Amino acid sequence: MTDTAYTPPKVWTWEQPNGGAFQSVNRPISGATHDAELPRGKHPFQLHSLATPNGVKVTIMFEELLAAGHSGAEYDAWPIHIGNGEQFSSGFVAVNPNSKIPALIDTTQSPDLHVFESASILLYLAERFGAFLPQDLVAKTQCMNWLFWQMGSAPYLGGGFGHFYAYAPFKMEYPIDRFTMEVKRQLDVLDKHLAQSQYMVGDEYTIADIAIWPWYGQLVLGRQYDAAEFLDVTSYKNVLRWAEQIDARDAVRRGRMVNRLHGDPAMQLHERHDASDFDTKTQDKVGQA
C-alpha cells in the first residue's frame, strides 16, 4: 500500500493484510469465527469488556452505582482480548451480534437479558437503578441530547482521527486534516457548553458525563493517541476543568482500572469480581504474589 491517489475498482474485494494496527482483527463479515462459551460469575451482572473508552463508560457506571449504595449493581467483569479476536467467539456473538465490547448480561431477568452498545447499557442501568439520569423532562432530554451526541461524535475521534493519527500504517495528510478539524470543532462545542455548565446537564453528574468523559475528558488529559500537543488540548480550558473534576472521583479511578490490560500494573485489574479486588488483585500485586 502506498500514499498515492487511489482509483477504486468496480467492486471492492477483501485483500489481506490491509495494514494498520487492527489488520489481523478487522473483517468485512460478521458472525462467530470460533466456538467458545463466555465465563460466568456469581453476580447479577456479567460484563464482557475491555478498558477502552467505550468499555470504561460502563465500568465507571457500575462503580458509581455501587459507590452510591446500589448494591444490586454488583458485577463480574471479564476481559475480552479484542486484539486476539475474542469478540468473535460464539458466546460473545450470542450477546452482541456486532462483536464489539462492551457487552452486558443481566442474569436477574428471565431469560438472561443481553444489552449491547455502550449508551444502551448506560441508559439501561440508569433506568434500572434510578440513578445518574434526571427525572425532570427538560433535564432528561438534555441528558439524552448529549448522550446521543457522544455516540454520533466519538467515531470521528476514535475511528477517524485516532485511526489515521495513531494506527494507520503510515501518516496521510488528507484524513488527518479532515478528522483533526472535526475533533477540534467537537472540543470547541464542549468547551463552549462547559463554560456555562458545571457538568453536561447543569450541576447534575449524569450518564452524559459518564459517556463523554472517557473519550473527550481523557483526550484533554493527554491519555489518548499521544495527541495532546498536536490538538493543543490545554486551550480547551473548560473541558479541562470538567475533565479534571471527573478524573478526581474514586469511582472513575476504579472504573478505569477494570479490564485494563496495558500500562501501569497498579492500574490494571484484569478481572473484577469483588470490591476488594482493587486492593489485592491489580497486576502489581498479582505480580508480587
Ligand X SMILES: N[C@@H](CCC(=O)N[C@@H](CS)C(=O)NCC(=O)O)C(=O)O
Q: Which of 99, 142, 224, 283 binds ligand X (CB under 6 A)?
A: 99
Backbone CA torsion sign across 63, 64, 68, 71:
negative
CA-CA distance, 136 to 104, in Å (whole number)?
Answer: 27
Q: For residues 285 and 264, is the Cβ–Cβ distance under 8 A?
A: no
Single-letter amino acid, residue 19? G
Total residues interacting with ligand X, rule: CB under 6 A? 11
Q: Which of 73, 93, 95, 101 binds ligand X (CB under 6 A)?
A: 101
Burial class (CB in 10 A: 0-12, 13-18, 19+), 138: exposed
CA-CA distance, 183 to 268, in Å (whole number)?
Answer: 29
Q: Which residues pair with 45 in a beta bridge?
A: 75, 106
Torsion angle defined by CA atoms of residues 24, 98, 226 and 61, in that order, rounded to the nearest 10 degrees: -140
> What three-state secondary structure class fits 148?
helix
Closest approach of ligand X to the CB of residue 117, in Å? 5
Question: Pattern of binders to ligand X over 206-245, x per CB under 6 A?
Answer: ----------------------------------------
Closest approach of ligand X to the CB of residue 287, in Å? 26
Residue whose CB is less far from ligand X, 33 or 180: 33
Closest approach of ligand X to the CB of residue 71, in Å? 26
Burial class (CB in 10 A: 0-12, 13-18, 19+), 189: middle
Q: Which of 59, 89, 118, 206 binds ligand X (CB under 6 A)?
A: 118
State the DSSP H helix or E strand holding residue 65, giving kind and residue range, or none if neither.
helix 53-67
Footprint (CB under 6 A) of ligand X, residues 20-79: 25, 52, 54
Residue whose CB is less far from ligand X, 52 or 238: 52
Range in contact with ligand X (rule: CB under 6 A) among 29-37, 96-104, 123-131, 222-230:
96-104
Single-letter amino acid, residue 64? E
Q: Which of 46, 87, 153, 238 binds ligand X (CB under 6 A)?
A: 87
CA-CA distance, 136 to 142, in Å (whole number)?
Answer: 10
Range in contact with ligand X (rule: CB under 6 A) among 94-102, 106-114, 177-185, 245-253:
94-102
Q: Which of 117, 182, 271, 274 binds ligand X (CB under 6 A)?
A: 117
Residue whose CB is less far from ligand X, 101 or 220: 101
Binding site for ligand X (CB under 6 A): 25, 52, 54, 82, 87, 99-102, 117-118
